[in-house]
Amino acid sequence: MGRGQSEEHVFTSAVARNLEIDKWTASDTVLRLQRIVGKRPYPLDELLLMTAAFRYLQPAVVVEIGTHVGKSARIWWELSHTSAGPTEIHTIDLHDPSHAEYPGRALGKMIKGLPVVQHYGDGFAVADRLLPTLAGKPCLLFLDGDHAFETVAKELTLIERHPDVIGVLVHDTFHQPESGYNHGPYEAVAAFLQSHAVLEVVHAHIGLPGMTYIRV
């Protein structure tokens, strides 16, 4: 049995070359995750995409930018916990009480006591320093921090800077021009895809908040 495989089937086909998993068993996983973390900020289709990306890529490392209360880091831990091989999980966020979205004492509360490494500071800067220390370990990068175009565009350059990044998930990528919704992540992803050749792109874009998977 390969790394990252448990009793769940990772692929529906032994020759699958794109994101493909057994959605029946993945749905069981998603419903379990929903009971643990709820459906906000990650609705069921986004939980399914996160599960699919993890199961398909089988990363040795997950590095995420944007801890908040620790829901996404908890998702990665739960997925890793039920897989055959260990996955290191690193989560990064600002420790800044003046920030409008600072959760106070709730920062990272859903991963307290779990083997998840919390880092504090600017997401790009910390990840850029961290990734070389994890060299040789296939990495899934999850971007859900500052949603400004400039920030997400800069974070996406981590793909070029660090060859061990094999896949990226970007949150809040739904595009609805009339809504006034923050389109920074959508626009950053669109600009990246215009200027880079990638292996695969999958969008969970049937409504807010939206998520995009990129395999590189």
Residue stretches of the chain with pLDDT short of 70: 1-16, 84
What is the per-residue pLDDT for 121? 97
DSSP strand pairing (88-93 vs 117-120): parallel
What is the per-residue pLDDT for 177? 79
For residues 52 and 19, is the Cβ–Cβ distance under 8 A?
yes
What is the per-residue pLDDT for 16? 61
- Beta-carbon contacts of 80 under 8 Å, excluding residues fewer than 6 positions away, are 54, 62, 86, 87, 89
What is the per-residue pLDDT for 11? 42
What is the per-residue pLDDT for 8? 43
Tell me which amino acid residue 186 is: Y
Pinpoint the alpha helices (H) of 58-207.
71-81, 123-133, 149-156, 158-161, 184-195
Q: Does domain 59-215 have CATH number 3.40.50.150?
A: yes
For residues 182 and 103, is the Cβ–Cβ distance under 8 A?
no
| Number of neighbouring beta carbons within 10 Å of residue 159 | 19
